[in-house]
Amino acid sequence: MNKRLEASWSNLRHFSGNIIITSFVRIFKVSILTAAPNLKILSLREPPAMNAVGVEQYGPIENLICRKIPKPDKPQGKELLIKVEATAVNPIDTKVRNGTYDDAPDYYKFVPRPFHIMGYDGAGIVQEVGPECTRFKPGDEVFYVSSPTKQGAYCEYQLVPEVTVGHKPKSLDFVEAAAMPLTYGTACESLLDRLEIKKGEKVGILIINGAGGVGAMASQIARWVLELPVVITTASRPETIDFTKKMGATHVINHREDLKKQIDELHLDVPIKYVYITYSTSQYLSVCSDVIAPLGKVCSIVQSADMNMYGTQFMSKSLAFIWCWLGSRMYHGVDTNQWEMLEELSALIDAGKIKCHLTRRLQLNLEGIKEAHRILESGKAIGKTILIRYDSLEVYQQYGSIIEQMTKDKFAEKGATEQTLFISMRSMPPIHTTSFVAPENVTVDDLKGVQFPEGVHVDIHQEA
Ligand SMILES: NC(=O)c1ccc[n+]([C@@H]2O[C@H](COP(=O)([O-])OP(=O)(O)OC[C@H]3O[C@@H](n4cnc5c(N)ncnc54)[C@H](OP(=O)(O)O)[C@@H]3O)[C@@H](O)[C@H]2O)c1
């Protein structure tokens, strides 16, 4: 009697083995059972799940796993259901994953369990709108930030409150758009709301870590939106120095050398009234109080356990020290107008005033996300280095036909006849499912010996 063999193959260059094979979504899985050559039974079912990457146990990068989980429910109230096209990876993701995120002392009491998905900004297409939404309709292209205590964007569908969503800039693709919200939002809130810098002030700002994601946005806002005459940033490598200049720095100094000496040597003709710290605060607190003008303001976005102002110039200069955490409003239930900030950003980008700081694209899958975490943890990220894109279509276009042909040839050699071919473009990665009717003398193991391109995984199983 003929046997039915089903082969699923996919490009897994960035996924890990069976996890992904069991994680296919959005296709009708077709089973053709051939009890006898002429008898075919067709059954269809739609998997009700989506792929998501997250952790069940906080810890090292290896703890990231891909799971098939239910697609989010219908949006309620002012929620939007967004089909995620691209998501960013930020330092918050690595800290949360590690179990060491401490911007809020009780953060881990409120996180989703048992499977926690990270990814706090993204871009995508509105699928469904909640009954109280007013600004969007299905099909709208959007970019957004999401709450640090809700499920994040390392997945295919995400529920996001309408108030943290803006229309995607027309001049950016989804990947570029996903790079912007969290870093721009943080820099914008820090410089405009917390430091209260006024447009055109004849003063300077010092930005510690100018080539990071937030620093790259802050320097652009300071230079091109607030039009400050002096924007000093810090960077230590040729590529980061070059990058921060492109992002608006008027002067770049090296954070691995004496900052005060370097600033003195600039002979600035305006005072440094503002300092913005986007790296370890304890490391820079004292020197910042040395270089800033009396009555100046220092804002930091990075919490340090060992911060100490005693013995610095903070008191003598009557300096203000201000924290900024983008999550504050969402975390404490304070009304947020982040959507206004995003709409403004969209307009600034389309007008060419703010540039995208994306420098690297990776795939939105388990390996891509792990790689992104590795880069961030190396401390060598430049701008928004780590953007992950849902690009299974391109992968399929590149490899799909080769894989398809190899499988068909191998099966034909053994006398198997092809029955059906299904390809899902929207799965992560694309899945191709074909069933074959194999002669009696062919076993599953006979077909498992096919040498596929590196990283391509073929799952062959026999149905009764
Ligand atoms: N509070 C908030 O709402 C909020 C929001 C976003 C981010 N954050 C935090 O802000 C921090 C920065 O994040 P990010 O994404 O902007 O940047 P990032 O990607 O973490 O920054 C990477 C850059 O750090 C620089 N760097 C390495 N060692 C340094 C040192 N000793 N001093 C100064 N810079 C150094 C490197 O520049 P060189 O190679 O040139 O040395 C590298 O290009 C993170 O801790 C993040 O969690 C807070």
What would the pLDDT profile of 136-156 be if each residue is shown by its tens digit?
999 999 999 999 999 999 998
Listed residue (186, 121, 190) closest to 386, CA to CA? 121
Confidence (pLDDT) at 412: 78
pLDDT grade, residue 8 (50/70/90)? low
Pick the more confident residue, 208 or 453: 208
User: Same domain for 207 and 321?
Assistant: yes
Average pLDDT over the chain reads 83
User: Same domain for 144 and 63?
Assistant: yes
pLDDT grade, residue 365 (50/70/90)? confident
Looking at ligand 1, which atom is closest to the CA of residue 324? 1
User: Same domain for 192 and 322?
Assistant: yes
User: Same domain for 124 and 213?
Assistant: no
DSSP letter at 63?
Answer: G
The winner for highest mean pLDDT among 120-124, 130-134, 414-418 is: 130-134
Give the global pTM: 0.78
The pLDDT tens digits for 50-84 are 889 999 999 999 999 999 899 998 999 999 999 99
pLDDT grade, residue 32 (50/70/90)? very low
Q: Is residue 413 predicted with pLDDT exceeding 90? A: no
The pLDDT tens digits for 302-327 are 998 889 999 999 999 999 999 999 99
User: Same domain for 126 and 87?
Assistant: yes
Determine which helix (DSSP H) or strand (DSSP E) holds 201, and give its type and residue range: none
Q: Can you tell me the distance from the alpha carbon of 119 to that of 94, in angstroms, rounded to the nearest whole number?
A: 10
Q: Can you tell me the distance from the alpha carbon of 412 to that of 407, in angstroms, rounded to the nearest whole number?
A: 8
User: Same domain for 363 and 403?
Assistant: no
Tell me how far the alpha carbon of residue 55 lies from the centroid of ligand 1, in angstroms.
Answer: 24
Confidence (pLDDT) at 459: 64
Is 64 among the domain residues?
yes
Confidence (pLDDT) at 26: 22
Is 33 among the domain residues?
no
Mean pLDDT of 186-190: 97
Quick check: CB of 219 below 6 Å from ligand 1? no
Q: Is residue 210 predicted with pLDDT exceeding 70? A: yes
DSSP letter at 72?
Answer: P
Q: Can you tell me the distance from the alpha carbon of 361 to that of 356, in angstroms, rounded to the nearest whole number?
A: 13
Mean pLDDT of 357-364: 81
For a pocket test of ligand 1, which of 189, 259, 262, 279 has the largest count of ligand atoms closer than 8 A to its C-beta? 279
Nearest CA to ligand 1 atom 45: 302
Nearest CA to ligand 1 atom 46: 91
Phi, psi of 40, deg, nearest 5:
-125, 135
DSSP per-residue letters across 93-107: HHHHHHT---SSTTG
Quick check: CB of 148 below 6 Å from ligand 1? no
Pick the more confident residue, 403 or 374: 374
pLDDT grade, residue 454 (50/70/90)? low
Q: Is residue 223 predicted with pLDDT exceeding 50? A: yes
Of the listed ranges 202-216, 320-334, 357-371, the one predicted with least confidence: 357-371
Asked if 302 contacts 284 with a C-beta cutoff of 8 angstroms, the reply is no
User: Same domain for 203 and 307?
Assistant: yes
Tell me how far the alpha carbon of residue 350 lies from the centroid of ligand 1, in angstroms.
Answer: 27
Is 16 among the domain residues?
no
DSSP letter at 156?
Answer: S
Is 141 among the domain residues?
yes
Tell me how far the alpha carbon of residue 219 lies from the centroid of ligand 1, in angstroms.
Answer: 14
For a pocket test of ligand 1, which of 100, 214, 242 has the largest count of ligand atoms closer than 8 A to its C-beta? 214
Q: Cis link prior to 429 (omega < 30° from 0)?
A: yes
Tell me how far the alpha carbon of residue 260 lies from the centroid of ligand 1, in angstroms.
Answer: 20
Q: Are strands 251-253 and 272-277 parallel, antiparallel or unpaired?
A: unpaired
Q: Is residue 262 predicted with pLDDT exceeding 90? A: yes
Q: Is residue 37 predicted with pLDDT exceeding 50? A: no
116 strand-pairing partners = 55
User: Same domain for 193 and 113?
Assistant: no
The pLDDT tens digits for 277-293 are 999 999 999 999 999 99
Write the CATH number for 275. Answer: 3.40.50.720
Mean pLDDT of 108-115: 95
Confidence (pLDDT) at 422: 59
DSSP per-residue letters across 155-217: BSEEEEEGGGEEEPPTTS-HHHHHTSHHHHHHHHIIIIIIS-PPTT-S-EEEEESTTSHHHHH
Mean pLDDT of 433-452: 69
Quick check: CB of 220 below 6 Å from ligand 1? no
Q: Is residue 341 predicted with pLDDT exceeding 80? A: yes
Confidence (pLDDT) at 57: 97
Quick check: CB of 212 below 6 Å from ligand 1? yes
Confidence (pLDDT) at 426: 42
Q: Count up the domains in the chain and report the number.
A: 3
User: Same domain for 54 and 173?
Assistant: yes
Q: Is residue 442 predicted with pLDDT exceeding 90? A: no
Is 2 among the domain residues?
no
Q: For a pLDDT cut of 90, what percent of the chain falls above it?
A: 62
Confidence (pLDDT) at 105: 93
Looking at ligand 1, which atom is closest to the CA of residue 256? 31
Range of the structural domain that residue 368 is part of: 49-181+329-388
Is 20 among the domain residues?
no
